[in-house]
Amino acid sequence: GGWGGGVRPGGKGRGGCSLRPCRWNGAAGVCESEAAWAATVRAFFGSVPALICGPVTAMVRARVARSTFEQGMARHSPADQLFIHRRALRALSSLLGDKAYMLGDAPTEADCAAFAICDNILAAAWPNPLADYARAECRNLEAYCARVRAAWFAGG
């Protein structure tokens, strides 16, 4: 009870399997795409003094690359990573379907996780082929993000 929609404790179900691989897309995208990395530096390190910005961002990039490798995603080829992430987005999109939120009409913890993942992938500041795929093939996710953003961050 309480988990609904095929999501079971321990991440074993439609929801768990769809969220876990997507969580690392931002990390993999940041390390592999120069355009995404440049956007990350502007967004997160724009106020860092120029004298230390280069060394700090190089250290962060190396740590993200290492953790992504240790987690396992970076051990796959870029094409395989994209395949895995696309499959995960399709599962997430399918789980959402035409519902307002992941598990029905009211937001749950699953929506906190799903929104964070989807909004990060779809953010215009971080161009990536997964965002293009989500906009073309998983259209309900973009509408979902807009709906959640409007409901939860209306004052921001």
Euclidean distance between CA atoms 36 and 45, whole angstroms? 13
Residues 65-96 have pLDDT tens digits of 888 889 888 888 888 888 988 999 999 999 99
Residues 89-147 have pLDDT tens digits of 999 999 999 999 999 898 999 999 999 989 988 877 777 788 899 999 999 999 999 99
pTM over 0.75: no
